[in-house]
Structure 1
Amino acid sequence: MYNSVIVKYGEIGIKGKNRYLFENKLIKNIKNMLKPIDKFNVYKEYGRVYVDLGDYEYEEVVEEIKKVFGVVGVCPAVKVLRNNEEDIEAAYEKLKETAIIVLEDKIENGAKTFKVESRRGDKSFRLTSQEMSMDIGGYLLSKVGDRIEADMHKPEVKIRCEFRENNVVVYSDTVPGYGGLPLGTNGKAMSLLSGGIDSPVATWMVAKRGMEVEAVHFHTYPFTSEKSQEKVKDLAKILAKYVGKVRLHKVNILEIQKAVGLNCRDEEMTIISRRFMMRIAEEIAKDRRCDALITGESIGQVASQTIQGLTCTNASVSLPVFRPLIAMDKSEIIDIAKKIDTFETSIIPEEDCCSVFAPKKPVTKPRLDRIEESEVALDAEQLIKDAIDNMEVEVLEF
């Protein structure tokens, strides 16, 4: 029945003179998301984006489109072109006939009450939008009133009718999208991606705001297994469903952690290691022309994420650090992880580089001056250079 999909967007609609740039990027991203299925006709018309379904069922197409950042809703629709030779009244009759097709489908699926909502895109038509709704509603009741009732307050189904200059469109359901802004409209960021629950969610949330993302993963092979790296690669592939190909930089910081363990106070191990990770991520980010770093930190979740710990790690870099989870509870983070399908992979038990060398009693209120004093004993510049020189890079896609 459905031959088209209406793609609704939110914030893009208030971008003023730059709106067309966001719309064009959204269309490009939708086409890319649908490529594994087939090549679809995706286009904009009257402040809407449409996807012609062709021979495909709408469920499969809608499921992919809703993952595209910037999309707030996806509506399966019946779209009928208007014939230039037919008069306006004949076109309006076509709209009513299309509405009955959609309502019949809803009745077959158990709907007992309905309401009509209309939009008059063709201003030359004699009826207003409200008058159209009343007229179409009366027409529908005359055809199927013995099987369904009108309810203006709490209808089970809304039949949405649009009368436009070139076509008529009828739809009912709206499948929610993730919202945000189209990927690639707000620069690029480098994510510190671990195998845990938090960092994949943080990466997804920043990408949702239109930022392209790359990732850096820190490990201490052979103290951490190759399986832990495979787990991170699996997470990057899941993220690639939403953000396109993920360029993953894998950095071994074993020598750094050995040097910190030998030359610094044991309780400072986690904070100093974290500062090295931030510095390395920043160097890679600058080389890759990224504008910010992303971490999955949340206030007070672990010893290094106290406000004093975050202050110490922040002081090690000059790039902005995005922490979208900073005030979220773990349960909220887990809910998002489940929604984006990273949770089941994240909870696979594997040790990461932080847990392997974690001190028994890590400092929870580190002082920046003391941390910097401890780091004097380290050849930080050389350690960072060696780690970056030996990193491995892999491009992953879903």
Structure 2
Amino acid sequence: MPDQPFVPAQRPTASYGPCVLLKHGEIFLKGRNRHRFTERLHDNLRVALRGVGGSTWIKTAQNVTVLGGDGSVSIEALVERAQRVVGFNSVEPAVRVPSTLADITRAGVDALRERAALGPVRSFAVRARRRDKQFPLTSSQVAARVGASLKEAMPNLPVELKRPEVLLSIEIDRKETYLSWTRLPGLTGLPVGSSGRALVLLSGGYDSPVAAHRAMRRGLSCDFVHFNGAPYTNPSSVYKAYALARELNRYQPAGTLHVIALGKAQKQLAVAGAGRLQVVAQRRLMVRTASALGARIGSEALVTGDSLGQVASQTLANMAAVDEAATLPVLRPLVGWDKQEIIDAARAIGTAEISVLPDEDCCQLLAPPRVSTRAALPQLRSVEKLIDLDEVVATLLDRVQVMVPGADEIPVPDETRCAAPVPS
């Protein structure tokens, strides 16, 4: 088998044309408002195609989007961009031909020969589906006739209906028919932005980037907030957060990254006598500040990478204590995941290599030797009364640094907004 997915060659005649079939995910379950989800899906696809290097086009069939381009755009490039877009169940490089049996058969024979030229083919099968019921042959008749022609053209190639090495898929529309051989997985889920906006509390570890990605796959458009320990820590965690947000922005129209220096506020909590409650008190301050920031930028929820019981601060009691300080709903997409599942997902989405880079985590700053696993609200409130929370939050938000990850330059945090192009 070839290392890369087989893509039929570009044809010089007008009858043939390479394209990509994008099968819709769960939006096909939607009712009267399905068109809104489809429009959002296509908007996100157009964003993902920016900078691809040529002219592209998008058309819609029944629960399928067809993507193509001019001769300057490779099908491989279109496939790579489409696989970034949340909402497609599969991505299939294909050939489109007129909906006549002669054109369908000719395209099938030519493409199978091309595939055989890349390496031995041990077996094949043909599956056909009529989207256009006006077509004069049934689906099974089309499959039988095309299969017979393929067998005649390549008599030494055996047919295997159950587990063929090459499965030719034929989808017949009224004017065009699509033939494909390779089925690549899509990201499934709901189109980013169809469920609203969320603000992700983005640390430098494995968990929060995976949580952000899961939130995107449920239709949430994500911005990010990163708390660092400045002025008591170096900026390494900010560089990591920027790199993580840039990687995550490959899957959505670019979200902004907000960096908040928490070090002085953490010290205020420690001086107020937080003790074993320090970590939970810090988390409460983070979600309180993130809620205020989210309200300012139009977010409707917060997203964290918490996994139940993973660390002492993520017990059920401590999660409840943290939630009490938030004014926006706190979503935890990974609450039931174990660490290995999270690491595997981080590798799959491309954030794992960034997460393992060394940094100075603000959560470790002033952390006590032992963390309370059942932080009591009365005790937490007593500590918080010793500092002016409203003033602390206002000060943190006044000094927030805002970036748009995706620029090629190395981020240098400052008080300005670092504009960046939409990631290509």
**Range of TM-score over shorter length:** over 0.9
Mapped to 2, the partners of 1:184 and 1:177 lie a distance apart of 17
Assess if the C-alpha contact under 8 Å between 2:135 and 2:174 holds in 1.
no
CA drift at 1:74: 0.8
Residue type of the alignment partner of 1:66 = Q
After TM superposition, give the deviation of residue 323 of structure 1 in Å: 0.5
Amino acid at match of 2:122: K
CA distance in 1 between counterparts of 2:134 and 2:288 reads: 63
Aligned partner of residue 319 in structure 1, secondary structure: coil
The letter of the residue matching 2:310 is Q
* 1:197-251, Cα deviation, whole Å (9 max, x unpaired): 1111111110111111111111121211122211111111111111222211111
The one of 122, 128, 146 aligned to 1:118: 128
Partner of 1:276: 285
2:370 is aligned to: 361
- Indicate conservation of the 8 Å contact 2:86/2:217, yes or no: yes
State the alpha-carbon separation in 2 of the partners of residues 207 and 61 from structure 1.
Answer: 21
Q: Match for 2:145: what amino acid?
A: D
Distance 2:96 2:136 in 1: 22
Q: What is the CA–CA distance in structure 2 between the aligned matches of 1:194 and 1:381, rounded to whole Å?
A: 24
1:192 and 2:201 equivalent? yes
1:62 corresponds to 2:72: no
Deviates more, 1:4-13 or 1:237-246: 237-246
Structure 1 window deviating more from structure 2 (221-230 vs 65-74): it is 221-230
2:320 corresponds to 1:311: yes
Equivalent residue for 1:72? 89
**Does the Cα contact within 8 Å between 1:308 and 1:364 map onto a contact in 2?**
yes
**Paired residues of 1:159 and 1:170 also in contact (CA < 8 A):** yes
Hey, what does 1:221 align to over in structure 2?
A: 230
1:192/1:215 contact within 8 Å kept: yes
Quick check: which one's helix share is greater? Answer: 1
- What residue is the counterpart of 2:168 in the other structure? 159
Aligned to 2:56: 40
Q: Which SS does the other structure have where 2:65 is aligned?
A: strand
Deviates more, 1:381-390 or 1:371-380: 371-380
| Contact 1:201–1:333, Cα closer than 8 Å, also in 2 | yes
Question: 1:75: how far off?
Answer: 0.7
Cα offset, 1:336, TM superposition: 0.9
Superposed CA deviations along residues 257-301 of structure 1, whole A, max 9, x for unmatched, are 111111123111111111000100000001111110000111111
**Secondary structure at the residue paired with 2:96?**
strand
Q: C-alpha separation between the residues in 1 aligned to 2:187 and 2:171? A: 25
1:200 alignment partner AA? P
Q: Verify the 8 A CA contact 1:264 1:377 in the aligned structure 2.
A: no
- Give the share of equivalent positions with the same residue, in percent: 32
Residue aligning to 2:216: 207
Give 2:138's aligned residue.
128
Matched residue SS, 1:348: coil
> Residue 234 in 1 paired to residue 249 in 2?
no
Q: Deviations over 1:19-43 (max 9, x none)?
A: 1111121112112111121331112
Check whether the contact 1:116–1:160 (CA below 8 A) recurs between aligned residues: yes
Question: Could you tell me how far 1:122 is from its partner in structure 2?
Answer: 3.1
Residue 122 and residue 376 in structure 1: after superposition, are their counterparts in 2 closer, same or farther (change >3 A)?
Answer: closer
**Alignment partner, residue 67 of structure 2:** 51
- TM-score normalised by structure 2 residue count: 0.89
Residue pairs, 1:326-365, within 5 angstroms: 326-365=335-374
Equivalent position of 2:420 in the other structure:
none
**Matches of 1:251 and 1:11, distance apart in 2:** 37
- Once the two structures are superposed, residues 24-83 of structure 1 have per-residue CA deviations (whole angstroms, 9 ceiling, x without a partner) of 21112112111121331112123321111322332222111111000111111111235x
Quote the offset at 1:164 in angstroms: 2.3
Aligned to 2:418: none
Tell me if structure 2 keeps the 8 A contact 1:255–1:383: no
Question: Which residue is 1:171 aligned to?
Answer: 180
Structure 1 Cα separation of the partners of residues 206 and 344 of structure 2 = 10
Structure 2 letter corresponding to 1:19? R
The offset of 1:189, in angstroms, is 0.3
Give 1:265's aligned residue: 274
Residue identity matched to 2:92: C
1:36 is paired with a residue of what secondary structure? coil
2: CA distance, partners of 1:78 / 1:274: 53
CA contact (8 A) 1:102 1:159 kept: no
Counterpart CA distance in 1 for 2:236 and 2:389 is: 29
What is the alpha-carbon distance in structure 1 between the residues aligned to residue 218 and residue 42 of structure 2? 16
Cα RMSD after superposing both structures: 1.4
Amino acid at match of 2:36: L
Structure 2 contact 323–330 (Cα < 8 Å) conserved:
yes
Aligned-partner SS, 1:246: coil
Residue 111 of structure 1 deviates from its aligned partner by 1.4
